[in-house]
Amino acid sequence: MRVNAEIRDLSYKKMIAPLILPIIIVPLLLLLFAAVGFGVPDLIPNRITIPVLIVGVVGYGVLTVWTGKKASSTYNSSWITEEFDFVAFDGKLLVNGKPMHTNVYKSKKKIYVHDLGDDGKPLVASFFATIMGEDFDKLFEYIEENGVKKERELLPKVTGRGSFAAAVSLSKYRRY
């Protein structure tokens, strides 16, 4: 069954790191300039230090807003809709010959197909797709006709540090 599914290109994280770096560096530079300006007034007089700091703080606000908008557009561009061939075999959906978990939410009209946790890492998936809209109806009918087992979505079982964030770990693979 060929349907469109939404997936996420996780390489977007490489584009966000350079955006965040100036937000960390600029305040440090402003603090350094203020320390030198107010600490050694003979080197940089207060009539120069104060206007430079005011311009720096206003510029930092503009930089923060611009960074937020750029990061948001980068995040939104990381979602891709592609066509995938799903094959029903032995009660499972297969993608490229690999068995997947199938979570169906009729009320949301969404089907999640993934291999989350299959490689021994409970928070990592090599494939995670969301099927919605008209494609939901087509794939749901295909699942029903071929007896594909619909699984309850179990949150990854993680213990120790970071276990509280197990539910949030799915947010990198799907939009809510």
pLDDT band at 16 (very low <50, low <70, confident <90, very high): confident
Percentage of the chain with pLDDT > 90? 40
pLDDT band at 125 (very low <50, low <70, confident <90, very high): confident
Residues 47-62 have pLDDT tens digits of 999 999 999 999 999 9
Is pLDDT larger for residue 143 or for residue 118?
Answer: 143
Q: How much is the pTM? A: 0.70
pLDDT number for residue 155: 62
pLDDT number for residue 61: 95
SS (H, E, C) the chain: CEEEEEEECCCHHHHHHHHHHHHHHHHHHHHHHHHHHHHCCCCCCHHHHHHHHHHHHHHHHHHHHHHHHHHHHHHHHCEEEEEEEEEEECCEEEECCEEEEEEEECCCCEEEEECCCCCCCCCCCCCEEEEEHHHHHHHHHHHHHHCCCCCCCCCCCCCCCCHHHCCHHHHHCCCC
pLDDT number for residue 154: 65
pLDDT band at 139 (very low <50, low <70, confident <90, very high): very high
pLDDT above 90 (res 63): yes
